[in-house]
Amino acid sequence: MVTYRSPREWERMRDAGRVVARILASVRDVAEPGVPLAELDAVAARVLKEHGATSPFLHYKPSWAPVPYPANICVSVNDVVVHGIPGTGLLKDGDLVTVDAGARVGGYCGDAAISFMVGTADAGGLRLIEVTKGALERGIAAAVPGNRIGDVAAAIEGAARAAGFGIADGSGGHGIGTEMHEDPSVPNKGRAGRGMRIKEGLTIAIEPLVTESGRDATRVLDDGWAVATVDGGRAAHFEHSIAVTGDGPMILTAL
């Protein structure tokens, strides 16, 4: 069931979204070669606490997951596409890192992600990051009243494929509001003109997951959560939560 939300609710989601943006900025700030992934999670926990917020990721257990999610944020490195658990590893020079963060404030949720290079950046990694960010921008621009969910999907997929990159199988965004994951699902690939009509009040997270090799196949790692490319190539991920307003898409997870 899709819930359409009022401008008043957009403002409450904006409060949650601002905390998400602060988490991402703070984590990015400390992300350097040699830093433990667990330290990144600790930084996120501190920001959440400072704002009286909680993580909708922590202890989250969708039906497909074998165990509840054990951390506050996801940290997905290199060939890990999404849902990397910040466990025992250290960041190393040249890593392509995605941080995905959520916050629940006063009953409303925000969800966003950024990718960046740690230490020495290679041109290929930077291009993958820029194209993925551009795919998110194109997807957001398509989220206007009168369009359909397939227009968002086609915009994202078109941006990735035009650059020779792939879109991770099964990946996509989702409705967001009082729960982190609500209807509708917002696939990262599909055909323009298809799917549910987009109306004012729709609040969704849009999140392209783009692969450098151009191949889309993924597999779930042994921890039951992390999703990696099958071919070992890198992936990047950007996400914003947005509200569809009469004046166009409003980004809820900006600072």
**Residues lying near ligand MF3 in the complex (CB under 6 A):** 57, 60, 69, 74, 83, 100, 111, 113, 174, 207, 239
The rounded distance, in Å, linking the Cα atoms of 207 and 211 is 13
Q: Which two tokens stand for residue 161?
A: 């494929």
Q: Does 184 sit behind a cis peptide bond, omega within 30 degrees of 0 on the bond before it?
A: yes
The residue range among 20-28, 69-77, 132-140, 204-212 that interacts with Co ion, by the rule CB under 5 A, is: 204-212
Residue placing its CB nearer to ligand MF3 in the complex, 8 or 83: 83
Query: CB-based burial of residue 128 (10 Å sphere; 0-12 exposed, 13-18 middle, 19+ buried)?
Result: buried
Q: Which does 60 bind (CB under 5 to 8 A by kind): Co ion, ligand MF3, none?
A: ligand MF3
Residue placing its CB nearer to Co ion in the complex, 103 or 205: 205
Is residue 79 involved in binding Co ion (CB under 5 A)? no
Q: Which does 151 bind (CB under 5 to 8 A by kind): ligand MF3, Co ion, none?
A: none
Q: Which two tokens stand for residue 96?
A: 């392509």
Q: Which does 57 bind (CB under 5 to 8 A by kind): ligand MF3, Co ion, none?
A: ligand MF3
Cα separations (Å) of 209 from 14, 67, 92, 145, 187?
A: 24, 23, 22, 24, 10
Query: In sequence order, what are the beta bridge partners of 4?
Result: 202
Is residue 111 involved in binding Co ion (CB under 5 A)? yes
Residue placing its CB nearer to ligand MF3 in the complex, 100 or 216: 100
Q: Which does 226 bind (CB under 5 to 8 A by kind): Co ion, ligand MF3, none?
A: none
Helix axes of 149-162 and 123-141: crossing angle, nearest 10 degrees: 160
Residue placing its CB nearer to ligand MF3 in the complex, 137 or 179: 179
Residues that bind Co ion (CB under 5 A): 111, 205
